[in-house]
Structures are given as structure tokens and as C-alpha cells.
Amino acid sequence: MSVEEKFIRYVQYDTQSDASSQTIPSTKKQLVLADALKKECEAMGFDRVVEKQGTVYAFLKEKGTRSKEAIGFVAHMDTASEISGKNVKPKIIRDYDGQTIHLNETYSMDPDRFPSLKKVKHEDLIVTDGTTLLGGDDKAGIAIIMQAMEELIHSDQPHGPVAIAFTPDEEIGRGVEAFDLKEFPVDFAYTIDGDRIDAIDYETFNAAEAIIDIQGVSIHPGDAKDRMVNAALLAVEFASMLPKDEIPSKTEGREGFYHLLSIEGECEHAKLVYLLREHDVNKFENQMETIQQIAKEMNAKYNNRIEATIRKQYSNMKEYMHGDLRSVHRAEEAIRKAGMEPVHTPVRGGTDGAMLTERGLICPNLGTGSYNHHGRYEFASIPQMKKMVEIVKSILEG
């Protein structure tokens, strides 16, 4: 089975995570794919395969080499919540002609609007039917790892110890909360969870989630003077007090943002959920202080009706690598061997690798050849996924 076939099979699994759930994993449907991957790893011939709390671990002993440097690869099974991941119907476009792709009668991808399409002309693409996301984030990563491992096991290529892991709940910032480092005995690892395959990412956002809970007073509007407190209006006021240009649609590069993920409310109660993102740790601290300061000012104005709760999600992995770039240099060598010049860009997001690095396991991020993640405009390049399989195998050469 090819990487293309594996990918198409994996995206058939509905694996969306649920931020409101307190279980590990957050949704039972992720366990269905975890069980399938566990069985696939066992059939493939790994020396050890374990599933714990929704994470699948598989391990290969060294073969034909004196190298004892153990290397790991990680990808996540869940998909984002912005749009449905159920009943995904991938379509294959052979030898893409560079023109607008019509996903269905309503939705199309124009290269001028989605410039990543301009870089994949004449490549075979996998796209959605316009009704769901595709799941390239991160089932392309899973397919690449599984294909690379299958080819490695059935080849004579020497390699040191290898571990792979497939995690749940990355999209809700809880992908490695239950990750057992004892089941992943490596010197360093890589997440395969980006887009462009010439990139090695080791600078991520610092990230937090802020939940603003507002209590109002509901009363008949005809008798409301000096008595009603409309929580929905307070939510609007809170949002208006944040920096108007520090939002995802107006920032790039290392510029951080406040992302209003959701807003719900009525007169009696309202809730805002924000994602806070900054590369610079001091600016990140200022973001969290800004949220609390606005809450303080509005509580003074409205008699303590607002509660702001902030939960840190992950940190900039670069700060926890402490200058150890062995993993980066090894990936650079493999990318050059594949005929490309490696690039390093600040990630406008995060990966399981950010949290693993903070816990002591250095884990930069590599690409998948899939683009426009978290929506109906996702697509994956088949030749890029194939090249990424070769890069993974090249990293492991002993």
C-alpha cells in the first residue's frame, strides 16, 4: 500500500477532538483509529507496540549499524473542530493544471486566493469535496511515518533504534498530557505536522487559552431601567477593549494575536474563548496581563460580574532546546539529500513537539506536503508526501 493509499484510508476515520471533554482522549472515536494503527504496526513487524490512553507507541531495534542514537517520529490522530471531519470524501486531481479547483458547486480554490497552489502545478493533489476538512493535519503525517516504517522494515537499510507515536487531542492543546516518555526511549524526535517539506520548525508560539465568563441580570425589558445587566453586551464591550489589529487576519511572521475562538451569550450569561499567541515570552506575559486588566476594569464598572481564566497550553520550544541542534542538523542533511535547501520559519501555531521539548525531549517539526489546514480548502500533494517518506528514511540512515 502506498503513502497515497494510506492517507486516503486514514482520512475516512472521524477523529475530531473535543475541547469541552475532560476524558483522555477527549473523544472515543479517536480510539478507533488508534486501535487500527496499533494493529497495523503489529502486522508490519515492529518489535514492540503499545497503546496507552489513546496514544500508540511502536519501537524498532537497531539493525546493521553501530549507531546507538535513537530517533523518534510523532504525528497526531485528531482533526480540528472548525469544520466537520466526518464522511470525508477525498478527490484526486492528477497533474494539476494550475487553474481554479472547483470542489463543488459552491466552493472553489483560486490560486490567487490560495497561493500555495501556485507551487504545486503538475503535481497530483488530494482535495476535499468542499463539505468537510481533509485531515491532512495530521493524517498526512501518520501516512508518511507509516509508509517510511513499512519500507524501512522491509529493506536492508541500516538504522539505529526507532520509535514512533501517534497521539490524540493535539488540536485542543492536550496531545501529550498523558504521553509516557518511558514508552518512547529516544535521544530526540520530530513531529511530522507542518506543510512545506523543506522546512524545519523549531520556533513556535507561546500559547494560552483565555475563557471570559460573564454573569448578567435578566429582567423584562419593559421594566429594566437600572436593573438589567446584559451579559451579551458586556461580552461585546470586553472584545472591543482588546487591540483591534492584533488578530490573526492582520498579523504574520512573529506578530502575535488574540484570536476570538468562540462567543456565546444571552442576557443572563455570556462566554468568550480566546487563543493567545506570541513568540516572545515577554509579549506573551503582557497578553495575559491585558486580559486580566480588562476583566479588572469591567468588574469595577459592573460590580464583579466577570471571571477571566487563563490556561497555558504550550511554550516556544526554542527556549527549551538550549542550543542543542543535533536534530535540526540531521534533518537539514536529509532535506539537502532530497534536493532542497532547508528553511527555518517561526511557526504560527504549535505542535506536540513544543510540549515534548519543554518536558526534555527535543522535538522539532517537519512538513507533510499538505496545506490550508483546518478547513474545506485543505489539499495534499502526493509527490511531496512521497518525498517526505524518503526524507524520514534518510534521517534514520545509520
**Exactly one of 170, 195, 203, 378 is catalytic; which is it?**
170
**Exactly one of 78, 150, 169, 246 is catalytic; which is it?**
78
Answer yes or no: are the C-beta atoms of 150 and 59 closer than 8 Å: no
Q: What is the pLDDT of residue 68?
A: 76
CA distance 162 to 156: 15
CA distance 280 to 356: 19
Is 78 an annotated catalytic residue?
Answer: yes
Q: What are the domain boundaries of the chain?
A: 3-204+316-395, 206-314
The domain over range 206-314 is classified in CATH as 3.30.70.360? yes
Which residues partner with 229 through β-bridges?
217
Q: Is the dihedral of CA 284, 285, 286, 291 positive or negative?
A: positive
137 is in an annotated binding site: yes
Nearest to 164 by CA among 70, 268, 256: 70
Q: What's the predicted TM-score (pTM) here?
A: 0.87
CA distance 117 to 371: 9
Note down pLDDT in tens along the chain; length 398 residues. Answer: 999 999 999 999 999 999 889 999 999 999 999 999 999 999 999 999 999 999 999 999 999 876 779 999 999 999 998 899 999 999 999 999 999 999 999 999 999 999 999 999 999 999 999 999 999 999 999 999 999 999 999 999 999 999 999 999 999 888 898 999 999 999 999 999 999 999 999 999 999 999 999 999 999 999 999 999 999 999 999 999 999 999 999 999 999 999 999 999 999 999 999 999 999 999 999 999 999 999 999 999 999 999 999 998 888 999 999 999 999 999 999 999 999 999 998 888 878 999 999 999 999 999 999 999 999 999 999 999 999 999 999 999 86
252 is in an annotated binding site: no
Q: At what angle do helices 326-337 and 382-395 cross, to 10 degrees?
A: 130
CA distance 99 to 57: 42
Fold (topology level) of 3-204+316-395:
Aminopeptidase (3.40.630)
Is 170 an annotated catalytic residue?
Answer: yes
CA distance 84 to 28: 16
374 is in an annotated binding site: yes
